[in-house]
Amino acid sequence: MAITKLYIDQRVQDFPETLSIQSRLNLPATVVTNCQDVFDYVLSSKDPILKAKQTLLLTCNNGAFIKNCPGTRCYTCCDYKILHIGTFCHLDCTYCILQSYFHPPVLQYFVNHQHLLAQMKNLFAQQQITRIGTGEFTDSMIWELWTDLSSLLVPAFADQQYATLELKTKTTAIEGLKSLRHNHKTIAAWSLNTHRVITREEHSSASLTARLNAAAKCASWGYPLAFHFDPMVIYEGCEKEYKQVVQQLFSTVDPGRIVWISLGTLRFMPALKKIIQKRFPESNIIYGEFITGLDGKMRYFKPSRIELYRSMVSRIRELAPHVCIYLCMEDNDVWKESLGFIPDDYGGLPRMLDERAIQHCQLDPKGLIGK
């Protein structure tokens, strides 16, 4: 989806990053002294979410660039950290939680990179294993057409030994990664789904084949890889179709290059249901058999989730028996029934993933001390 309107926070109008982005977009810019003007512009539309996806605000991050993942005590969390480089996304997935997470939704990119680099330097100085990614509040790679973000982040992570950066996307915007010095510290990651879900629910995203071909390219450039089957959608015939995705994955990518694969099923806050009904009336994704989970989100019944997880785990282990598989936001019962163990059997999920990062990203294992 194309950007049609550009706003610039007055505080950053002379920043080099701002000038570079404006040149690439080749759009006239409106300079604002109060970002509320942008919110008001978006909210004035009949479809504020769609308008937000076409409107870019260049501004400052006034808070922390590095945040803890907003998990919940009710389900096993991976202790991931977020590199908060911007908000929202111009892809248009029906199920996207960001549609109801931000009030109002605004596509923002933070250009005060000196603060970003300073906070990253402080993180690296702690010399503890850290897994961090930019894909929690946005798609990691949508910014590649207009910014030099990857060329800023990837070499910075390459110069240290304790943190790994995961760039998760549904796009194929990877060419900027080709010539970067990464030292295996950046993981190129993709969200995967069935052809049916991608075409019906993940509007403006790349096809499954295109995503996997992009992953194979990144592997040829030496990047470690990760894949996230999340959210998996339960529908008639879904098990067969998800197994076909697994087959295509390992027909395209060497399992030895994969750091981890996560599995998670569709879950959403109740407020998102009305948004989906209004914006995507043709979608039936919200009409499955759901219950309210311990985190307040709507989830498929536990037996249904376990059945799909078991099917996926079985097929992945047939084709790639040594690949690390983990569940996103599930409890110990689901872990035990789906994978045959619980994370505590191996020191907890954070430690499991830290050890995989050490192995594939060449992190210093001394960074596990004290964790």
* Model confidence pLDDT, tens digit, residues 176-213: 999 999 999 999 999 999 999 999 999 999 999 999 99
Residue ranges covered by each domain of the chain:
64-84+113-368
Categorise residue 261: left if φ over 0, alpha if ψ from -120 to 50, beta otherwise: beta
* pTM: predicted TM-score of the whole model, two decimal places: 0.95
The pLDDT, as a whole number, for residue 72 is 63
* Model confidence pLDDT, tens digit, residues 27-48: 999 999 999 999 999 999 889 9
Segment 260-268 shows an average pLDDT of 96
Q: What angle is formed at CA 289 by the lines to CA 285 and CA 294, rounded to 5 degrees? A: 100
Helix, strand, coil fractions of the chain, as percent rounded to 5 = 40, 20, 40
- State how far the Cα of 133 lies from the Cα of 145, in Å rounded to an integer: 19
Write down the mean pLDDT value for the chain.
94
Please give the CATH topology (third level) of the domain spanning 64-84+113-368: pyruvate-formate lyase- activating enzyme (3.80.30)
